Amino acid sequence: MSSRWSRLGLLLALGFLILAPLEFKRYGLYILSQWAVMTIAAMGLNLTLGYAGQVSLAQGAFVGIGAYCAAILTTNGWPLAAAIVLALALGFAIGWLLGYPALRVQHHYLAFVTLAFSTLAFLVFRNEAWLTNGTDGIDGVPRPSVFGLSLKPHLYYYYFCLFVLACVTLAMLGLVRSPWGRAFVALRENPMRALSLGVDTRRYTLMAFALGSALGALSGALYAPLVGLVEPPAFTLTLSLNLLMMVIVGGSGYFLGPFLGALIAVLLPEWLRFLESYYLILYSLLVMGLLIYSPTGLIGIVDRHIVRRRTRAASAARASLSASIEAP
Amino acid sequence: MAPVLEVANIKKRFGGINAVDGVSFEVREGEILGIIGPNGCGKSTLFNCILGQLQPSEGEVKLDGRVTTGLRPCDLNRLGVSRTFQLLQIFPKLSVRENLILAAQEHKGTMLSRLFGPRDAGLSAAADQMIDFFKLGALADEPASGLSYGQQKLLDAAMAFMAGPRLVLLDEPAGGVNLTMLANLKDRLKAFNLERGATFVVIEHNMDFVMSLCSRVIVLAEGRLLAEGLPAEVRANPSVIEAYLGH
């Protein structure tokens, strides 16, 4: 029954995402596009954090790398498609190079290493003016055309972002349902046992980190034409922490977690705008309250309910089976 | 023919303590070797040294005549050595079948074929056979957390057998299992040994279990080899009785 409900929910959400924006004004479209773009980065971080269990504070830096990649290439006349492919490759390669030494340490040590990388990336964005135009940033990032149709209108660019998000979602679904997904669950839940069953935990963790970084860069490559201006302050530690919060609030390790987390992180500041600068206080109180009530995030609340029902059914099956085995 | 496993003068020191202090033994093809000894005599540390979970301070481990000291546990597993742990180590969120598929998927194909290949890595049939073999039939699709302790213990053993290992190291398989389940487990271990020719090394405290399962027994005390022989010989050995019962 739960699968029928989730299918219905999925259809409703998809219908909303496609139809509702037709009525939206410019700002609403911008917010919704931002949600789609941030969801991609959060999905990447969810792979690193939620599936492979590695805390990374560098996801914002990878978004920056992708954004600069797209901004530099498209302002030099390259098509966005080429920039997207290059951003993915660059994110993967840099993620791999960073992860190779960094993943030898774990937990808060890894957080420190990625924090250092985040700072390093910011310094490069700000100081290497020959490449990034320094503090002025790169203005006038153009929006692409697809089959001769210009994506300049906000509505069209939103659909483009939504399309890329759909592709990423399908690819991610394939990934977590493949044997890789099973290996990720295993190395998160019990790395020692996974290792003793032949799972090369170091290799899988590295792949999760590199793929997660590539998605961060992809998100950046979509962000650049959305905003039009790419400048260093957008990709500081704040963005990394924001993405981390999206993953944790939504439900780290749950497939739908990043979608929900990004929605809240993008919408809540808008809804709480009337509080002006007090909104951060309320926001952090809400997050703390949520994490005390449900450390596994919003999806975790739903999941607990489903698991409780399943366990009850399983106990019944078990009781009847042990009765048949243990009967004399 | 070279023995399946050769352990030569393994030592493991933790600070000033010699947890394992120069142990040597061989395991021959197809036998079930029992390792017994009082708590803290170094049995589990010895296992961890053999399996690459710990690096021995001195000594050498050979598998089929090839030195394997220094290899990681995942490499050893892919060479055909699997194990169970003293405490249950299953994946509670995965179903029984998924636990079993996981236990063998890394033995097939490459990283790429596991990414783009079928979801079950072509192991569903093998997993179902193992489920039948361990009589867990009705529970195949249940999350492992829904099983009773004894059933989880069976699943834990089944996972160690899933990839068709030549050598299985079992750390206290009988611990905390009720008598009915114990008979069931012993029966399955013996059947696996006979039908598939797998070699076992078993750490166990339950003497009856060891005596009825193992073909040979070695006794450890304070990190050293105290005695070795047929189960009945070892049981009658005065120094073994002393080590177990004290002075």
Per-residue pLDDT of B125-178, as tens digits, reads 999 999 998 888 889 999 999 898 888 988 999 999 999 899 999 999 888 888
The amino acid sitting at A120 is: L
State the residue for tokens 């080590």: B243
Helix H or strand E segment including B81: strand B81-84
Q: Which residue of B has its CA nearest to A326?
A: B180
Cβ–Cβ contact B111 with A under 8 A: yes
The amino acid sitting at A268 is: L
Distances from the Cα of B195 to the Cαs of A200, B67, B138, B179, B215, in angstroms? Answer: 30, 28, 24, 24, 16
- Number of other residues whose CB lies within 10 A of the CB of residue B117: 16
Give the integer Cα–Cα distance in Å for B14 and A211.
39
Look at residue B137 in the predicted model and tell me its pLDDT: 85
Q: From the list B91, B105, B139, which residue is nearest A318 (CB)?
A: B139
Is B135 in Cβ contact with A185 (below 8 Å)? no
Look at residue A321 in the predicted model and tell me its pLDDT: 64
- Tens digit of each residue's pLDDT (9 = 90 or more) over B206-228: 888 888 899 999 999 888 999 99
Q: Read off φ and ψ for residue B30, nearest 5 degrees.
A: 80, 0
Partners of B163 on chain A (C-beta within 8 Å) are 197-198
Partners of B91 on chain A (C-beta within 8 Å) are 185-186, 189-190, 193
Residues 19-78 on B with a CB inside 8 Å of A are 51, 53, 72-74, 77-78
Contact indicator for B208, B220 with CB cutoff of 8 Å: no
Buried/exposed code over A195-229 (b: 16+ C-beta within 10 A; e: otherwise): bbbbbbbbebbbbbbbbbbbbbbbbbbbbbbbbee
- Number of other residues whose CB lies within 10 A of the CB of residue B44: 20
Look at residue B57 in the predicted model and tell me its pLDDT: 93
Q: Work out the pLDDT band at B35, boundaries 50, 70, 90.
A: very high
CA-based nearest residue to B50, from B15, B8, B107: B8
**What token pair was written down for A288?**
């703390």
Cβ–Cβ contact A309 with B under 8 A: no
Residues in chain A where the model's pLDDT stays below 50: 1, 328
B119 CA to chain A: closest CA distance, Å? 5
Give the integer Cα–Cα distance in Å for A290 and A309.
22
Q: From the list B53, B107, B151, which residue is nearest A198 (CB)?
A: B107
Beta-ladder partners of B167: B81, B199
Partners of B151 on chain A (C-beta within 8 Å) are 318, 322
**What token pair was written down for A293?**
């009530």
- Tens digit of each residue's pLDDT (9 = 90 or more) over B83-105: 998 888 899 989 999 999 999 99
Cβ–Cβ contact A111 with B under 8 A: no
The whole-chain average pLDDT of chain B stands at 90
Instruction: For chains A and B, count residue pairs whose Cβ atoms are closer than 8 Å.
Output: 111
CA-based nearest residue to A35, from A284, A264, A201: A264
Domain ranges of chain B: 5-245
Q: From the list B114, B117, B146, which residue is nearest A311 (CB)?
A: B146
Partners of B98 on chain A (C-beta within 8 Å) are 182
Is B94 in Cβ contact with A183 (below 8 Å)? no
Q: How many residues does chain A have?
A: 328
CA-based nearest residue to A126, from A255, A230, A53, A238: A230
Give the integer Cα–Cα distance in Å for A207 and A166.
22
Query: What are chain A's domains?
Result: 19-293 (1.10.3470)
Q: How many residues does chain B have?
A: 247
Interface with B, mutate which of A177, A180, A187, A196 (most B CBs under 10 A): A196
A109 CA to chain B: closest CA distance, Å? 22
**What token pair was written down for B127?**
């997993």
Please check whether the domain covering B5-245 is classified as CATH 3.50.50.60: no
Q: From the list A182, A201, A317, which residue is nearest B139 (CB)?
A: A317
Look at residue A261 in the predicted model and tell me its pLDDT: 93
Contact indicator for A36, A252 with CB cutoff of 8 Å: no
Cβ–Cβ contact A201 with B under 8 A: yes
Beta-ladder partners of B217: B34, B229
Instruction: Collapse the DSSP code of B154 into the 3-class scheme (helix H, G, I; strand E, B; otherwise coil) and give the result.
Output: helix
CA-based nearest residue to A246, from A219, A275, A224, A228: A219
Buried/exposed code over A80-108 (b: 16+ C-beta within 10 A; e: otherwise): beebbebbbebbbebbbebbeebbeeeee
Contact indicator for B53, B68 with CB cutoff of 8 Å: no
Look at residue B168 in the predicted model and tell me its pLDDT: 94
- Number of other residues whose CB lies within 10 A of the CB of residue B101: 24
Q: Read off φ and ψ for residue B6, nearest 5 degrees.
A: -125, 125
Dihedral in degrees, nearest 10, Cα atoms A54, A57, A58, A64? 140
Contact indicator for B82, B168 with CB cutoff of 8 Å: yes
Look at residue A16 in the predicted model and tell me its pLDDT: 87
Look at residue A328 in the predicted model and tell me its pLDDT: 43
Look at residue B246 in the predicted model and tell me its pLDDT: 60
Contact indicator for B106, A183 with CB cutoff of 8 Å: yes
B161 CA to chain A: closest CA distance, Å? 10
Q: From the list B106, B111, B142, which residue is nearest A197 (CB)?
A: B106
A125 CA to chain B: closest CA distance, Å? 35
State the residue for tokens 């069209």: A156
Cβ–Cβ contact A317 with B under 8 A: yes
Contact indicator for A186, A197 with CB cutoff of 8 Å: yes
Q: From the list A177, A199, A322, which residue is nearest B119 (CB)?
A: A177
Is B83 in Cβ contact with A196 (below 8 Å)? yes
Interface with A, mutate which of B102, B154, B156 (most A CBs under 10 A): B102
Residues 6+ apart with CB under 8 A from A210: A91, A92, A93, A95, A96, A99
Give the integer Cα–Cα distance in Å for A119 and A138.
20
Q: Which residue of A has its CA nearest to B119?
A: A178
Look at residue A324 in the predicted model and tell me its pLDDT: 59
Contact indicator for B138, A317 with CB cutoff of 8 Å: yes
A67 CA to chain B: closest CA distance, Å? 28
Residues 6+ apart with CB under 8 A from A137: A229, A230, A231, A232
Dihedral in degrees, nearest 10, Cα atoms B239, B243, B245, B247? 80
Is B98 in Cβ contact with A182 (below 8 Å)? yes
Cβ–Cβ contact B245 with A under 8 A: no
